[in-house]
Amino acid sequence: MGPSGPGPWSAGFGPFHFDFGGPPGDSGRGRRGRRGRMFGSGQLRLVLLKLIADEPRHGYDLIRAIEELTGGDYAPSPGIVYPTLTLLQDMGLIEEAPGEGGRKPFQVTEEGRAHLEENTEDIDELFERLEATGSHRRRGQRPEMGRAVGNLMAVLKNRVAQEGWNETLLNEVIDILDDAAQRIERVK
C-alpha cells in the first residue's frame, strides 16, 4: 500500500497487494490522502472568494462545496480554510453577513468582486479543474467493482487462513484468476 492508503481500486492481504490503477483521469490520490496539493499559492483564496460571491457561506459550507465539486475526491481541511477566510477578511475581500446568531456566513465585498473580475480567467481554470476531477470520479468509480474485488480478497484470505498455501491450491487459484482475466479481456 502506498502512503495514501488503499482506495477503491486497490486491495491487499498478507504479502500480496493489488493496485488496479483506477478510473480514467485518476492519479491514485484518495479523497484525504492526496499526493501533492490541490491548490497552488493563492488559488484556494480565489476558489473560496468565488464560492462566497455566488452565495454567502460559512467555512463548513465552503468545505462541502469544494468536496461536491470534486465528486468527493478532495475536501480542504478546516485548518486551511479558516485561516484563508481570516486572510480574505483582513484583505477586505469578504465580511461577515448580517444575521442572527453567533455563526454568521461570509459575504463578498465590493473590493472582493473587483478582485474576482481581475482574476476571471484563473478562476474559470480552477473551477474547470475542480469539476473535471469530480467528473472523472463520477464516471470511473463503481462501488460494485470495489465490492466484487473485496469479495475476491475475502475469499482468498479465508481460504489461506483455513488451509494455508500449498502448491495445488496456489496453482488452482492462479488458473482461476488467469481465466477470469481472459474472460474480462474478451468482454465487449
pLDDT tens-digit series, residues 33-72: 444 567 877 899 999 999 999 999 999 999 999 988 887 7
CATH 3.90.1660.10 assigned to 43-140:
no
pLDDT at res. 143? 55
Residues 6+ apart with CB under 8 A from 12: 1, 6, 18, 153
Helix 59-69 with 120-140: angle, nearest 10 deg: 60
Per-residue pLDDT band for 138 (boundaries 50, 70, 90) equals low
CA dihedral 40, 97, 60, 29 (to 10 degrees): -20
Least confident of 7-16, 88-97, 133-142, 155-164: 7-16
| pLDDT of 14 strictly over 60 | no
Decide which of 19 and 158 is more confident.
158
Domain positions in the chain: 10-26+142-186, 43-140
3-state helix, strand, coil in the chain (%, to 5): 55, 10, 35
Bridge partners of 18?
11
Contact 156, 173 (CB under 8 A): yes
Percent of the chain with pLDDT over 90: 29
Residue 24, pLDDT score: 39
Task: For residue range 62-109, list pLDDT tens digits in order.
Answer: 999 998 888 777 888 888 999 999 999 999 999 998 876 777 899 999
Mean pLDDT, rounded, for 131-160 = 67
Three-state SS for 172? helix
